[in-house]
């Protein structure tokens, strides 16, 4: 299981107890949440999606004792609520720098009921679909690019660049283009899903 080094051991144990009744179940839930967070930040065109996912988990871990008290519902949705706040922080920072590349979108609130949870599920399903629509080469590149963490991540990306015969800047540009195509595919997919929902008979 991927555990960020900034997470205190005692708080991390409490977090796992919140996520599942057994170590195996909690570990699986943890990894699912982290991968979902990475996807959410990738979709928002955040270059440091993995770091932001880890920071999200760090913030929840540090407050997990307070969060658990009185909380009901899927713990994952609390993480997505924290991610939403982090996206707003990033959006404000980018606005101050005059950077319009990051597109903010709604992340589910802390309640599992209602359209927000369904919206997240639709977004993740569309993202999975769009990743599969990429060429095998682009799919491998984008998946490889978001492996490892910290120093290992830098070294690994350097190896990827060497493998395909480009420098790191060219690699970032290539990944950005792949993500741009994913973004367009996501917009199309979500539009089709919305249209299908509107046309579906109401119960």
- Burial of 98: CB neighbours in 10 Å, binned 0-12, 13-18, 19+: exposed
Which residue is listed with tokens 């690019």?
145
In whole angstroms, give the CA distance from residue 106 to residue 84. 7
Residue 100: predicted pLDDT: 43
Comparing C-alpha atoms, which of 98, 95, 118, 97 is closest to residue 108? 118
Q: What averages of pLDDT result for each successive group of 10 residues across the chain (203 residues)?
A: 60 92 92 87 75 91 90 89 87 62 39 52 80 88 73 81 90 85 85 54 41
Q: Supply the pTM of this predicted model.
A: 0.53
Question: Would you state the pLDDT for residue 119?
Answer: 72
Instruction: Considering only CA atoms, give the Rg of the chain.
Output: 18
Determine the pLDDT at residue 20. Answer: 93
The predicted pLDDT at position 95 comes to 66
The SS3 of residue 153 is helix
pLDDT score of 197: 47
Q: How many CB atoms lie within 10 A of CB 149?
A: 16
């Amino acid at each position: 299981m991927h555990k960020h080094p900034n997470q205190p051991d005692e708080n991390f144990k409490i977090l796992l107890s919140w996520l599942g009744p057994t170590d195996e179940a909690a570990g699986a839930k943890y990894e699912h949440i982290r991968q979902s967070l990475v996807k959410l930040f990738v979709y928002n065109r955040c270059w440091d999606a993995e770091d932001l996912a880890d920071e999200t988990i760090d913030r929840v871990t540090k407050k997990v004792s307070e969060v658990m008290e009185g909380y009901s519902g899927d713990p994952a949705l609390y993480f997505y609520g924290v991610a939403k706040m982090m996206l707003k922080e990033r959006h404000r920072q980018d606005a101050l720098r005059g950077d319009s590349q990051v597109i903010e979108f709604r992340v589910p609130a802390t309640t599992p009921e209602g359209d927000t949870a369904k919206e997240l599920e639709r977004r993740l399903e569309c993202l999975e679909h769009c990743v599969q629509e990429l060429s095998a080469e682009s799919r491998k590149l984008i998946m490889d690019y978001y492996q490892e963490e910290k120093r290992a991540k830098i070294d690994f990306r350097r190896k990827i660049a060497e493998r395909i015969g480009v420098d790191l800047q060219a690699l970032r540009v290539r990944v950005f283009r792949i993500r741009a195509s994913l973004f367009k595919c996501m917009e199309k997919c979500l539009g089709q899903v919305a249209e299908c929902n509107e046309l579906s008979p109401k119960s």
